[in-house]
Structures are given as structure tokens and as C-alpha cells.
Amino acid sequence: MLLKDNEEKRNIAWRTVMTVTSVLIILIVVFFAVKLFTSNPLTGNWENTDDGMKLTIKNNGTMDIVQALDESTVSVPVDYTIDMEHKRFAIHVNEEKIAKQAEKTKDCSKQELQDIADVMEGTYEYSVEQNVLTLTDSEYGSQKTFEKSGK
């Protein structure tokens, strides 16, 4: 070791190492604290066990409603806004996205996709407890529950 006989240089090196590690620890803690309190708690895949409807919620304000019809599965793109302070989740139907999806999906008409989206359109109060998402309709009070799925 280069610093074998010089106590003063060892102390300087030790203080430098301790300072750098302390700063790194503080930065990591701040990163995780910010991530914990500002990330979207609803992001992911959710499945309604009653009717098989699946929600794929993305971070960019879009989500897909996946519904099984007769022999096929249909994905309907919609937009959403989330107010984490008041725990409100609003789903908005985007006519253009539905029209594009209807062109891609030959099995379903635009009206069928619109009907699927209309089932979920509205403003909800949300709660997430132990991988269960509960959406309570703000207007009527009806509830829809979804379980977080691994896919």
C-alpha cells in the first residue's frame, strides 16, 4: 500500500471515502423517497375477477381495457387522468383511438369498442390495498374491484 507509513495521508483518504459514501447514501435515499411519493400507484395490469375485464394502466396517461368477446379478446385504448392527492381516477374515451383500433381489429365494430369503453368511462375514487384496486364511481357509488395480475 502506498500510504503504509503516512498516518496523515491515510486519514485524508479515509475521510474522502467516508464523505463520498455518505453523499451516495443520501442521494439514494432521496431518489427512493421521491419515487415512492410521486409514482403512479395504479400502473400495471389489473383483472376484474367477476367479468374478466383487464386494465393495463401505463404511466403516460393511457390505458387499455381488454375484454373477452365471444371467441376473441379485444383491447380498447382510452386516456386517463389521476389526482393522487384526492385519490381520483378519471377515464376518458378518445374517439380517434377507438376508430383506429376498430380499423385494426376486423372482428369488432367501432360501436362495440365504444360500448366497452363506455362501461369504464367516468370519474372514480380509487383505493389500493394488498394488490386489490377498488374503483368507486363518484356519481353513483357503485364499486368495481380489480386484482393486480403478474402479466
Q: Kindly report the CATH number assigned to the domain that includes residue 135.
A: 2.40.128.50
Residue 122 belongs to what H/E stretch?
A: strand 122-129
Q: Let me know whether 29 and 73 are in one domain.
A: no
From 65, 62, 41, select the one nearest 144 (Cα to Cα): 65
* 29 and 101 fall within a common domain: no
Residues 3 and 59 in one domain: no
d(CA 8, CA 62): 59
Domain that holds residue 138: 44-149
pLDDT tens for 90-112 read 999 988 888 888 888 877 788 88
Neighbour-count burial of 87, counting CB atoms closer than 10 A to its CB (0-12 exposed, 13-18 middle, 19+ buried):
middle
Name residue, grid cell 376518458. 92
Is there a single domain that holds both residue 34 and residue 93? no
Question: 51 and 114 in one domain?
Answer: yes
Same domain membership, residue 3 and residue 73: no
**Claim to verify: residue 78 and residue 7 sit in the same structural domain:** no
Phi, psi dihedral angles at 35 (to 5 degrees): -60, -40
31-59: string of b/e by CB count within 10 Å (b at 16+)?
Answer: eeeeeeeeeeebebbbbbeeeebbbbbee
With H, G, I as helix, E, B as strand and everything else as coil, classify residue 76.
strand
13 and 50 housed in the same domain: no
Q: Are residues 75 and 132 in the same domain?
A: yes
What average pLDDT is seen over the chain?
87
Do 51 and 120 sit in the same domain of this protein? yes
Task: Check pLDDT > 80 for residue 4.
Answer: no
If asked whether residues 88 and 103 sit together in one domain, one would say: yes
Count of domains observed in the chain: 2
pLDDT tens figures, 9-41: 888 899 999 999 999 999 999 998 887 777 778
